[in-house]
Amino acid sequence: MFDLEGRRLRHELKYHLNFMQYRILSRKLGAVLKLDSHAGPDGRYHVRSLYFDDFRNTAFFDKMAGVPIRKKYRMRIYDLCDDFVKFERKSKFNYYVFKESAVLSRDEADRIIGGDVSFLADSESQLLRCFYLECRRNLLRPVVVVEYLREAYVHPVGDLRVTFDIGLRTGLGPVSLFDHDASTVGIREEPGVILEVKFGSVLPEVVRGLFSGGIRPRSAIGKFAMCRGSAGVLV
């Protein structure tokens, strides 16, 4: 991995695929890589994230403008379970990404969503202390829910992780993060698949040859920006 001031950074390449491209590439990857250990019987798991932004919508506008150094905060659950709530800060440094994470209880997550972050001031987690300060300075608040099904493959060489995100949907506001019956909507008239390829300094040769020119060009728009933009009006 590329190292910058003690941070272990990774490449993150993104592509939009149609379902035919997805099916072909998924079969190829399944022959040489292992499925993520969290996958269910169908080889997938459900991801739902709640993203935060400040009163200026800085995370959204920085992403849309392609600002080379930026960050965003999110709260994430898997398969709609609330016994493991991951809190993350994802930072972008030009062509590299860096993620930091902490684990929250359901009660802690509910307090943050409700606007009570005072208890984070003395957290043992540096990430959560930083989030507390940003909430005080920049009025961070939850803005959008993003959810999808993920099919993930891993390889130990280069810390490689290849994911297919399927059925991207969104919902505004924080109330639906833990609600199994939350109403969300698809954001594209023609649903497709988002391919993400994440690795350290070198993309392993065993995988590089599987990516044909047919999946180019790369996409610069992330799921957070797509879902926020689909609302038409930032709230």
- Domains of the chain by residue range: 2-230
Residue 2 has pLDDT above 90, yes or no: no
CATH 3.20.100.30 fits 2-230, yes or no: yes
Mean pLDDT across the stretch 99-120? 96
| The predicted structure's pLDDT at residue 102 | 98
Residue 234 has pLDDT above 60, yes or no: no
In angstroms, the CA 108 to CA 79 distance is 19
E strands, 58-159, are 69-78, 85-93, 96-104, 141-155
In angstroms, the CA 94 to CA 110 distance is 33
Mean pLDDT of all residues belonging to the chain: 88
In angstroms, the CA 183 to CA 51 distance is 17
| The predicted structure's pLDDT at residue 212 | 60
**Judging by beta carbons within 10 Å of its beta carbon (0-12, 13-18, 19+), is residue 138 exposed, middle or buried?**
middle
For residue range 137-164, what is the model confidence (pLDDT) as tens digits? 999 999 999 999 999 999 887 789 999 9
Choice between 118 and 228, residue whose per-residue pLDDT is larger: 118
Residue 172 has pLDDT above 90, yes or no: no
Choice between 234 and 195, residue whose per-residue pLDDT is larger: 195
Q: What's the count of helices (H) and strands (E) in the chain, helices before strands?
A: 6, 11
pTM: 0.91
Closest CA to 33 of 43, 18, 46, 47: 43
Q: What sign results for the dihedral spanned by CA atoms 170, 171, 173, 175? A: negative
Q: How confident is the model at residue 69 (pLDDT cuts 50, 70, 90)?
A: very high
